[in-house]
Structure 1
Amino acid sequence: MGKSQKKKAMRRHNPMRVPDNHLPPGLSAAAETSKKKDQIPPILQKMESTDPAERKWACVAVSNIIQNDPSTRRLLQGKNVVGILITRLSDSEEEVVVDAAGALRNLCIDGGYELCGEMYNKNVLAPLKTLVPKIAQALSQYLENPKSAPESAQKIVYEMADSVITMFWCLSETSNKALNTINQANLVPFLICFLVYREKLPLSAVASAAQCLYVLTDDNPPATEELRTNGSYTSVLWSIAQGQPAADDVRGLTLKVLATGTLRNISPLPPLTVASAVDIEDEIVLPLLQPLLASISLPEVSQQIQTLVEKQASVPQIESLSLKHTPKSDNKSPTELELECFENRLRTIQLGLEILTSVCATLPDSEIPPEDDGGEEEHEDGDEMDGEEDVDAQMATDETPTTSRSNLSRFAFLVPSLLSLIEPTHLSFPPPGSPSIHPPTTSALGAIHLCALECLNNLFLTLVTSRQSLTDAEKSRGATIWGSLWTSLEKVGDPRVAKSTKEQKLFWEAAVGVLWGVSIVFKGVIVPEEDQVQLLMSLSDAYTENDQMKVKLVGTLECLAQHLQSISANRTIASYLVSLLPAGTPDQASVESTLQAASALIDIYSDETAPYDINFREDGILGGLVDAVEPIRKLVRGINKKRPGGIELKRRGEEIRDNLVDFIKYRRSLRL
């Protein structure tokens, strides 16, 4: 019984690499905390200079002063630095164009979806598309004879190519509007070229091309069909996926993961193409990802990063923005290179989790029919900043086919690694109002935690739909999994606290879905702890404007109430569920959670021989259900079938209404 979030193939996370949400809103707050605000006016002034050397200097200076500095980035945004840099992409001097592209690249990576959205709205794609032929020409010159290629060609291949491709990648994740515009640029052959000649080209540009291909083939038919139907393209991807990078080759490993993810995006491959007979998930994806996820200890990495940051802080930093001392653009200290290597490693883990989440979203194979979106409205253009849809689907109906245990056991070994990846470290959630000591690490850790939670969510929904009986060994693991989840939640902190951050709340929201899935799979096994029950009820009350979250919390409580020996907890939960039943005029804003509460009470007390059934008789729950019949009838009549998911919700509401009436008749007939 019950509803759940659909096992979804989520859009990728593109969080701010250098978050600014520890700052109060507005430019004044940024001005108070920025130590470089006095450097901004001369930079903007020289950006418009008639001297190309000054324009070049200004573009490079932007990249330098925003480094790990969200206050200064916000101030520059307020001064329209994005629009000014986009203009410089059409500059008459090639070096200015290269450095303007580099500055925009750094801005869109550090600023995430919001800044990418600003870039798209200011028409950055128009000049970017004109740069593609120029890069292709320089690439041809360079590949023909790298040593004799003009210096300008080398600079374009080594610097501009990486920046332009990275912007296409980031903008592809921003909105469907941006993605549709990028589809018209026919980038696939251009990007594949970097993979074909990967041994001769800078690895950063090759990795960016692979990343862009991976994003473009994520549920995007134009790019997917072009790639999957060209045998030479799939051969290149297959070759990379089959490669064996050295243990310390982080970028090589990332490239392999990207190629593997892209192969999965475009599978099944047409007959007679390379790897067409291979089970991509079983033979390529899982054997790569399982050891990858198990290979990292987030606490150890966090400690190593903190040591490096402290080491870096102990070295005097000498900065100069004079034209005689042009700010550096790519010269990095050994410590900075080590930090970058750790960040790349974390992002590779994040990428692996995203691929695995998509894999889990498709299980069990095609046995489960397509499902309605459950009533959640979709934005027509798909431009929501978080890039995800929060949709509902029917779960575990009587018609759901049974999946063999062998299909599910292949994912069971992932649970320990995923649980370790959701546990926060001391760098994951800085105190409210305080910046991270290394924002890129904090951003990457937060993305890893969320991806791991979403993967667990899909994995347990798969276990729910399998409808397999648990073995004793599996039951014993249920309490361990439940305890690990709560250990992580305790480290994140109470989301009800006024000062809790957006990241903490997002963690909790993702974790609640996992709690529900685990509680269903291990129903009757998990012992409900009083403090956990109270917290779940309190959270449910707090989500007055998010009925989907309330549904998940009510569903979790329903499962906890069915632990046979926990009579006191059952009484507490049942009393709370009865309080959610409508009285008088029902609230259409909470229609799904109301229906969930009614359904929960029916399920909990469907067995009158259960030890906790004494609560049903002594606490007058039957009377509460009787009083709710007419309001629930009104609630169901008020469901608008024309809304997205309305037909499915109406059907479910009618089913619960009828079940409630039948349940009341049954309980009365028992005369207990």
Structure 2
Amino acid sequence: MGKSKTNKFRRPQFNAEGLSVTAVKEMEPDHGEVFDGVDSPTGELLEKLQSPSADVREFACASISRVVQQSQTIPGFLQRDAVRRLGPLMLDRSLAVRETATGALRNLSACGGHEVCDDMVKQDVMTPLTALLRECCAGFETNAALSLKGQKNTVEDVANEAVNLLWNLCESSSQALSVFNKAGILDVILQCLERHTHNIKLALSAAHCLHTVTEDNAELLCSMNNAVLGTLESVLLSSQADMSHTLLRTLAAGSVWNLKSSLPTAHQAQTLTALMATLSQCLELDAGTLIPQLRQVEVARSATASEAGNMEDHQAAAGNMPVEEMEDDEEEGVGLRKNGKATKIDKDFSDLLPRGKEELREATALLTAQQTSLEIIVNMCCSDDPSDDEWEEASSSDESEMCPDGLSEGNTSLLSPLCLSAEVHAALINHNIPEKVLKKTQFPSSEAMDVCRHNPTWKILIKKMHRVQYRALTCLHNMLSTMDAESLGGAAALQAVAQHLSTLVFSPPEIPKEEEFLEAVTSAMRSLLQIIAYMKIPQCMTPQQMMSLSEAATCCDVVSVRVNALAILGITGSTLAKENGTAETLQMIGNALLQVATKDANLVVCGEALDALFDVFADGDEAERAAENINLLSALKALQPVFKAKIRKEGKGKYSPEQLCVLDNVKVNLRRFIGYLETVVKK
């Protein structure tokens, strides 16, 4: 109803390796001790946090870090005041304890969700965290010198855990974000970001955090200065070609876009060019080719390492490996099994990707970078004006909040001014962004999918590959909603896009049922069909295909998918109504829309179905004939009082003011449309 919605993304929460929190459940289980939520020795572990032995405190923190990854254990820890007990250990005299304590809190925040993060902030976790971050940054140079002598740079490891904890808290808690702004933590994050030439892992964590805290944060804009923007620009202009640095530059580009209102006027054009070049270069990469290549490298490296391990086994069996060497290795995470075989022990309890998985990290970084690039472009092409179709929100409202009377505006958004500035519009075109986005809307390559299916640790990439496709489809939707047809290649290009979208939907054995896919592809189809109808371009999708898509979509639980499908039927039907010999097809569409308007439990969906009916049967001989054949007038007369009663009874407390406003317009238009049909019958 009204103009098509443009989606805006808020980033999901990721850990330092680019894995979303939900990916914890998709990882291979650890082969060590497993605690279940009922019998886990929660109290015992918390008591050990007070031990005078640093080794015992470290063990307790590390154990808690693992246990809280099972979300059912978290309430037990919170009830026993775990946050207040772990907080002081972030400033423990032992760096190892600092790292594991911060890692435990990081996992607690990541696996506990918004409510746990809010509770952690209320328990003043930000005070020791802020102090820890400042101490870490003060020790970077000293520890960098120590690392050159072969010592582990533990201060940066601690800083990495702290930044990840800060990132999680600021993502989930507005109070944490307020503390971030007031405590001046921005300079600390920038210092971590500046370590990118020495420690890419820490820099990535800082970049993720910065990307999060700069989003919709007007208070932080006051802290912006040339030093901040200079640091971000230096990252954008870095030239390392690995996927981790590609992700780093992408996140920096997202932060620059978030801070665009603070850019000095003289540097805006240059910065926008660097930003767009970063996104363009990221989208040029072909994950379908790179992922199989990375997997081949991993296999080859594993084979080499296995051969080296066999040689060490022979040496150890012959008594040729000095005990001292084994002990030194143990400091680096190498231990002894009872049979004397050396094996890697994962001592980094808060990392969700196993060590020794460099190629998997690279593949994950690539997909995260491409998803992030697409989300940035989505936001670039997103109107800040509220849309009539922002149905998802639900809040209480007084029914008296009305909109001006008037018939539905239909496709008038096509005539509205472009939402993009001329500079952004030109930059998107100059870097061929629409073409690159369209390419990313394809299904993931079968070769890359096979690689991931046949290796347990790589299976986590399957969802990420699909998510890149979904983001690309949403990006396509927003570009179609905000860019003129000529910029997108004109009529021929739009027809090709329509053919491509129909292939995505109708080429598989059946229409895909994945909700995220359906939401993205129906949004893109809706925007495209609006343009095609306005430009009077022939459609490439048949009414039968549209009906099958509608049937699949109306079974979806996501309201926006059902709304999109109904809008698609309305656009298709209103186009067919202007052609001869289409009455039978219009009847089919009309019956489908009446079915939804009468039976769907959601008033928003019912309203969209009615709005589509108004469009389809507004004018024309074919529409009049079809309306008569399906008894549209009597059906709408019967529906009218029911619809009005539902708005009155269900409106308050269930739908937002914007939704009620549009529903009221539909109610008014329904009365007027019934009047129109009555005049048609009297002819």
Cα contact 1:162–1:205 (8 A) shared by 2: yes
Gaps of 5+ in 2: 15-19, 310-333, 397-407
Residues 258-304 of structure 1: CA distance to partner in whole angstroms, max 9, x if unpaired?
222212111223656x62x42755x333332123212223x334444
Of 567, 592, 597, which aligns to 1:576? 592
**Aligned positions of 1:57-72 closer than 5 A:** 57-60=59-62
Say which structure is richer in helix. 2
Pick closer, same or farther for the CA change 1:254–1:270 going to 2, 3 Å.
Answer: closer
2:364 is matched with: 343
1:284 alignment partner, SS class: helix
The code of the aligned residue for 2:520 comes to A
Cα contact 1:218–1:265 (8 A) shared by 2: yes
1:537 is matched with: 551
For 1:522 and 1:105, how far apart are their aligned partners in 2? 53
Per-residue deviation at 1:603? 1.3
Alignment of 1:421 onto 2:443 = no
1:189 alignment partner, SS class: helix
1:591 is matched with: 603
Of 265, 271, 293, which aligns to 2:283? 293
Gaps of 5+ in 1: 24-29, 381-392, 496-503
Aligned residue pairs: how many? Answer: 608
Per-residue deviation at 1:355? 1.1
Of 416, 419, 425, which aligns to 1:401? 416
1:218 alignment partner, SS class: coil
Pick closer, same or farther for the CA change 1:22–1:130 going to 2, 3 Å.
Answer: closer
Residues 180-228 of structure 1: CA distance to partner in whole angstroms, max 9, x if unpaired?
34434331122223345655x523222322221221110011223322x
Per-residue deviation at 1:576? 0.9
Alignment of 1:240 onto 2:253 = no
Cα contact 1:374–1:648 (8 A) shared by 2: no
For 1:303 and 1:43, how far apart are their aligned partners in 2? 43
The code of the aligned residue for 2:188 comes to F
For 1:469 and 1:134, how far apart are their aligned partners in 2? 50
**Aligned positions of 1:411-450 closer than 5 A:** 411=428, 413-422=432-441, 423-424=443-444, 437-450=457-470
1:90 alignment partner, SS class: helix
For 2:85 and 2:454, how far apart are their aligned partners in 1? 35
Residues 625-650 of structure 1: CA distance to partner in whole angstroms, max 9, x if unpaired?
44444545555666858953256225
For 2:25 and 2:138, how far apart are their aligned partners in 1? 44
Q: What TM-score does the superposition give when structure 2 sets the normalisation length?
A: 0.73
Per-residue deviation at 1:552? 1.9
The code of the aligned residue for 1:213 comes to L
Residues 145-164 of structure 1: CA distance to partner in whole angstroms, max 9, x if unpaired?
84269999974532111111
Per-residue deviation at 1:178? 4.0
1:10 is matched with: 9
Pick closer, same or farther for the CA change 1:554–1:265 going to 2, 3 Å.
Answer: same
Cα contact 1:463–1:521 (8 A) shared by 2: no
1:483 is matched with: 502
Per-residue deviation at 1:130? 1.7
The code of the aligned residue for 2:635 comes to G
Residue range with higher mean Cα deviation, 41-50 or 567-576: 41-50
For 2:182 and 2:491, how far apart are their aligned partners in 1? 55
Of 645, 649, 668, which aligns to 2:658? 645
2:317 is matched with: none
Cα contact 1:353–1:452 (8 A) shared by 2: yes
Cα contact 2:368–2:464 (8 A) shared by 1: yes
Pick closer, same or farther for the CA change 1:428–1:453 going to 2, 3 Å.
Answer: farther
**Aligned positions of 1:74-89 closer than 5 A:** 74=71, 77=74, 80=77, 84=82, 87-89=85-87
Pick closer, same or farther for the CA change 1:395–1:94 going to 2, 3 Å.
Answer: farther
**Aligned positions of 1:548-627 closer than 5 A:** 548-561=560-573, 562-563=575-576, 564=579, 569-582=585-598, 590-609=602-621, 614-627=625-638
Per-residue deviation at 1:238? 2.8
1:474 is matched with: 493
2:347 alignment partner, SS class: coil
Pick closer, same or farther for the CA change 1:622–1:235 going to 2, 3 Å.
Answer: same
Of 51, 54, 79, which aligns to 1:52? 54
**Aligned positions of 1:141-540 closer than 5 A:** 141-143=139-141, 146-147=144-145, 155-196=153-194, 198-199=196-197, 201-227=198-224, 230-241=225-236, 243-246=237-240, 248-269=241-262, 271=264, 275=267, 277-278=268-269, 281=272, 283-297=273-287, 299-304=288-293, 327-329=345-347, 336-362=357-383, 369-370=385-386, 376-377=392-393, 396-397=411-412, 401-403=416-418, 411=428, 413-422=432-441, 423-424=443-444, 437-463=457-483, 471-486=490-505, 490=508, 494-495=512-513, 504-523=514-533, 525-528=539-542, 530=544, 533-540=547-554
For 1:346 and 1:622, how far apart are their aligned partners in 2? 52
The code of the aligned residue for 2:289 comes to E
The code of the aligned residue for 1:525 comes to Q
Pick closer, same or farther for the CA change 1:621–1:83 going to 2, 3 Å.
Answer: same
Per-residue deviation at 1:245? 1.1
For 1:485 and 1:89, how far apart are their aligned partners in 2? 50
Pick closer, same or farther for the CA change 1:153–1:210 going to 2, 3 Å.
Answer: farther
Per-residue deviation at 1:472? 3.3
Residues 30-80 of structure 1: CA distance to partner in whole angstroms, max 9, x if unpaired?
9xx8754458869995674433223324545677x78xxx9x745765764
Pick closer, same or farther for the CA change 1:221–1:376 going to 2, 3 Å.
Answer: same
Of 119, 122, 143, which aligns to 1:121? 119
The code of the aligned residue for 2:368 comes to R
Cα contact 1:347–1:444 (8 A) shared by 2: yes
Per-residue deviation at 1:11? 0.8
1:390 is matched with: none
The code of the aligned residue for 1:512 comes to T
Say which one has the larger Rg. Answer: 2
Cα contact 1:453–1:510 (8 A) shared by 2: yes
For 2:296 and 2:566, how far apart are their aligned partners in 1? 44
Identity %: 16
1:387 is matched with: none
Per-residue deviation at 1:348? 1.4
Cα contact 1:9–1:358 (8 A) shared by 2: yes
Q: What TM-score does the superposition give when structure 1 sets the normalisation length?
A: 0.74
The code of the aligned residue for 1:104 comes to A
Residue range with higher mean Cα deviation, 82-91 or 471-480: 82-91
For 1:185 and 1:417, how far apart are their aligned partners in 2? 41
Cα contact 1:88–1:100 (8 A) shared by 2: no
The code of the aligned residue for 1:620 comes to N
For 1:518 and 1:480, how far apart are their aligned partners in 2? 11
